[in-house]
Amino acid sequence: MEHILSAQQFDKASLLETLDQASKMDKILAKGGSDIARGKILGALFYEPSTRTRLSFETAMLRLGGNVISETDVHFSSITKGEVLPDTIRMVSGYADIIAMRSKNKGDAALAAEYSSVPVLNAGDGAGEHPTQGLLDLYTIYKEFPNKFDKEPLNVTFVGDLKYGRTVHSLCTLLRNFEGFKLNFIAPDALQLPEKYRESQDSFGEDLSSSVLQEADIIYDTRIQSERFESQAEYEKYKGVYVFDAGKVNQMKSSAILMHPLPRVNEITQEVDTLPQAAYFRQARNGVPVRMALIAQCLGLV
């Protein structure tokens, strides 16, 4: 049984296969969907807030012809009455054929997989990882740079909260499977990328300078993760530290793209949305074909 728990479980061959399957799902979506998962049920367990991940998982299952059962608020879950995660998972895996789970604790998805009799997909575990987001981010780069992906050097510059930003942890891990990605990490010292995700060839800095903006092919901006700080005062120190406005984005190459896993708070102004570099809404849409591909893989349908 295949679970999706971490970006570390993928190698280049499995990533290329997933990208190819996501492209096929894009074509299926253009025709309105398929029914290869008819009779299958996705259990969507979301114990932290989500818009994109939950809705795109649910859309993906519905577009494959399957059905969905959901827990969308931990306050209405028996977890609030003291039920432990292993019990919840043992039970839900008796109802559903596959589970997508988001929780606030790093390692919860791996714990769920130990007790599940069906595949578990990590939809974000605290400040740990968000591998399905990393895969849709990788698919976005693959689609936006069809002639350069894995062929020519591309500078990927991550900006923002790289300590708590779980999507960064997953995407940088996935990119290391390919040739030619030069990774650059711009963050306040206290929010820099954790050691375990670093490699010796990486570049690090704190200043979102004109040269950083001009050299990047891909800027991957992230929100300062207010919910992970020990106090509001600590969060306030970093809130608004980097803001992409039209002046900044116009310094990027015209061929470059600005990505963001969303939600954004104040780190990209709305005037940027109409600039050619703004790729974040296309990126969010890619969650559907990628999650269709992952559900189909995990259910053994492809």
Catalytic residues: 52-53, 81, 102, 130
> Which of 66, 261 has the CB closer to ligand CP?
261
> Which of 57, 212 has the CB closer to ligand CP?
57
- The residue within the footprint of ligand CP, chosen from 29, 41, 52, 182 (CB under 6 A), is 52
182 contacts ligand CP (rule: CB under 6 A):
no
Closest distance to ligand CP from the beta carbon of 273 (Å) = 17
Closest distance to ligand CP from the beta carbon of 90 (Å) = 25
- The residue within the footprint of ligand CP, chosen from 133, 192, 225, 277 (CB under 6 A), is 133
**Stretch in the footprint of ligand CP (CB under 6 A) among 36-44, 168-176, 231-239, 255-263:** 255-263
53 contacts ligand CP (rule: CB under 6 A):
yes
171 contacts ligand CP (rule: CB under 6 A):
no
Would you give the binding string for ligand CP spanning residues 263-302, x where CB under 6 A is met?
A: x---------------------------------------
> Which of 131, 213 has the CB closer to ligand CP?
131
126 contacts ligand CP (rule: CB under 6 A):
no
148 contacts ligand CP (rule: CB under 6 A):
no
The DSSP-derived string for the chain is: ---B--GGG--HHHHHHHHHHHHHHHHHHHTT---TTTT-EEEEEESS--SHHHHHHHHHHHHTT-EEEEE--GGGSGGGGT--HHHHHHHHHHH-SEEEEEESSTTHHHHHHHH-SS-EEEEEETTS--HHHHHHHHHHHHHH-TTTTTTS-EEEEEES-TTT-HHHHHHHHHHTTSTTEEEEEE--GGGSPPGGG--TT-EEES---HHHHHH-SEEEE----GGGSS-HHHHHHHTTSS-B-HHHHTTS-TT-EEE--S--SSSB-GGGGGSTTB-HHHHHHTHHHHHHHHHHHHTT--
